[in-house]
Amino acid sequence: MLEKLQRRLGLRTDSVIFFTSAALTVVFVVTAITLTEQVDRTFAAASDWLLTNLGWFYILGVTSFVIFLLWTAVGRYGHVRLGGQDERPEYTTRAWFAMLFAAGIGTILMFWGVAEPISHFAVPPQQGVEPQTVEAARMAMAYSLYHFGLHTWSIFCLPALTFAYFVYVRGLPFRVSSVLQPLLGDRINGTAGRIVDITAVMGTLFGVAVSIGLGTLQINSGLARLFGLPENSLVQVLLITVITAIATTSVVFGLDKGIRRLSNINIIMAIGLMVFVFLTGATLFLAKGVIESVGIYLSQLVSLAFWNDTFANTGWQGSWTVFYWAWTITWSPFVGIFIARISKGRTIREFVIGVLGLPTAFTIVWFSIFGLSAIDLELDGESELVRTVVVEGDVPGALFTFLESYPLTTAVSVLSVLIVVIFFTTSSDSASLVVDMLCAGQRGEGGPTRQRVFWAITEGVVAGTLIAATGKSGLDALAEVITVFGLPFFVLAFLMMYALRRALRTDFPELAGPPPALRKRAEQEKEQERDRAGNGGTDRGPREQGTGRLSRLRDRRTGGTGKR
């Protein structure tokens, strides 16, 4: 029946994955609207339990991803190319970086670039640190960079690398289930594989819906300050409609003409905004601060990577770090598949260093300029950011309150709104492309443009319906759903590490043994053994002649007789 419906609609997908995902999305939205309180209580309880009892697992998981990726990149498999050995990258490094950054956390940096450092500066997470002091400022930068540096990008990089390997090296379709081939074998094309893919589709839709919702709140806050536009659900739904329309248009134009052009334009505008804040603010202070932030990040990275708030048990980590990791990993299949899609032809080492290194470096500069500028304004008493963000809880308005301390406030605020709109547009556009791939099953990389348009509209409808029906609390409820959804994705990520390592050892057995130096030494010793056997044992090799350290020691102890 599903196949017949698919043919009538002119679709080209795996009908089970497509229609099941669409139906579950509708059911969830309708249930969230009609039974808001019950859904909220259920997922709030589950989320609280996970944050309390399994927060340590989330912390350990992401740190494990970082270690595994760096170990794989610098190890013997680093030269393996994602594609044929003669394959070369399709996109330049600049275009590649712009697309992966715009589809990754560009939106989050705009949202949290000012708000998070100010939050931790005003309310330090760790005991013994006085609020709004120099030490509080240092730790605020450490936490912010920890949240958006290597660890966040490892959540994207791990699935991206795994997808790229199984698609470009083993020739499997762009499906999350493809990465489990070493474990499931041909069952990835059966029920088990479809369950994995449907879960990935749902996580992607809800993760992007949360991002669109948060972005809409920030855009609404900016427009309220610029033009007095009211901050309510009606305006927010209209904004989501506009963003969805732009994303749908970009989908129609395709990857090269749509996402790539928007990403390049947006990254230029974002850099322009950052340079403006740097030049018109405390330039010398920021120049020194960027360098110092690198040291702060590196010095605190190891301790924060394993910190579990064990002794104080304040609950802060659950509401910040663990939530970030759970939220991020739910849409890691979307970002991962998108990054894999644009990364064919790169070596594993180039891929990992690029996906982890370039965005992390940019994140350090971004937070150093915006975060340190915000903290500097507060220390000088020239801003009311602490009151806005912490006292009033107006996190979406943090960036625009911050810009009020700079020249050309109106023009720069308009530019910021435009940047946020395009960042969310590219995220929605990229998600539509990826969800279509996930629903393609064994058919390849998706079908007609109308399928991607359908998913672009669906993302907007999910976010818009929740805002219209339940307001901001609906997004909070969805965020709790995301936290619960994050657990199976963490388990999946551990399976990805095992599957990738197993596939590399199977596909490149010549690299699976000991390092080349040890292999050469072992071969020399075997050759010497063969020579001795051929000479009847009369010729003594270097070991018998005492040239080795142990042989010389033995000769000294025995007087060269071989007897004690």
- Whole-number pLDDT of residue 562: 46
Q: What share of the chain is helix, strand, coil (3-state, %, to 5)?
A: 80, 0, 20
pLDDT at 557: 45
DSSP 71-110: HHHHSTTTT-BSS-TT---SS-HHHHHHHHHHHTTHHHHH
Structure tokens at 390: 């912490």
Q: Where are the alpha helices (DSSP H) in 342-448?
A: 348-352, 358-379, 385-386, 398-403, 409-438
Q: In this structure, what token pair is assigned to residue 297?
A: 């990040």
Q: How far apart are CA 345 and CA 284, in angstroms?
A: 41
Partners of residue 81 on adjacent β-strands? 347
Q: How far is CA 139 from CA 286, 313, 419, in A?
A: 17, 18, 28
Query: What's the pLDDT score for residue 65?
Result: 97
pLDDT tier at 547 (50, 70, 90 boundaries)? Answer: very low
Check: CB of residue 243 under 8 Å from CB of residue 425: yes
Q: Which of 207, 121, 145 is nearest to 398 (CA)?
A: 121
Q: Residues 263-289: what's their mean pLDDT?
A: 90
Q: Return the number of other C-beta atoms located less than 10 Å from residue 377's C-beta.
A: 23
Hey, CA dihedral for 308, 311, 314, 315, is it positive or negative? positive
Distances (CA, A) of 469 to 34, 50, 62, 218, 476: 9, 27, 35, 19, 13
pLDDT, position 102: 60
Q: Give, to the nearest 10 degrees, the angle between helix 233-254 and helix 409-438.
A: 60
What are the tokens at 187? 């069952």
Both tokens assigned to 154: 């490892």
Closest by CA position to 351, among listed 160, 503, 166, 87: 160
Tokens 């500097």 locate to: 376
Q: What is the Cα–Cα distance from 179 to 386, expressed in whole angstroms?
A: 45
DSSP 8-state assignment for residue 347 = B
> Cα separation of 121 and 228, whole Å?
30
CA gap 372, 253 in Å, rounded: 39
Q: Predicted confidence band at 280 (pLDDT cuts at 50, 70, 90)?
A: very high
Is the pLDDT at 237 greater than 60, yes or no? Answer: yes
The angle, 0 to 180 degrees and rounded to 10, between the axes of the packed helices 332-341 and 150-168 is 60
Name the nearest CA neighbour of 318 among 206, 494, 479. 479
Place of tokens 């996402």: 259
How far is it, in rounded angstroms, from Cα 132 to Cα 119?
10
With beta carbons less than 8 A apart as the criterion, state whether 406 and 280 touch: yes
Read off the pLDDT band of 152 (50, 70, 90). very high
Per CATH, the architecture of 2-47+89-310+320-511 is what? Answer: Up-down Bundle (1.20)
Residue 153 pLDDT: 92
Q: What is the pLDDT of residue 541?
A: 45
Token pair of 39 as six digits? 């859904």
Termini Cα distance of the chain:
87
Q: Which two three-digit tokens encode residue 60?
A: 């350990």
**Mean per-residue pLDDT, 549-553:** 44
Dump pLDDT digits (tens) for 183-209.
Answer: 998 888 888 888 988 988 888 887 777
> Positive or negative CA dihedral for 55, 61, 66, 67?
positive
* pLDDT above 60 for 404: yes
Single-letter residue type at 440 = A
Q: Give the H or E element holding residue 343.
A: none
Amino acid 362 reads F
Name the residue ranges covered by the structural domains of the chain: 2-47+89-310+320-511, 522-558
Has residue 532 got a pLDDT over 80? no
d(CA 163, CA 169) in angstroms, rounded, equals: 10
pLDDT digits (tens, 9 = 90+) for 421-434: 887 777 777 778 77
Identify which of 414, 360, 324, 325 has the alpha carbon closest to the alpha carbon of residue 119: 324
CA distance 137 to 132: 7
The per-residue pLDDT for range 74-90, each reduced to its tens digit, is: 999 999 999 877 788 88
In which residue are the tokens 């330090």 written? 124
The secondary element (H helix, E strand) that includes residue 475 is: helix 472-507
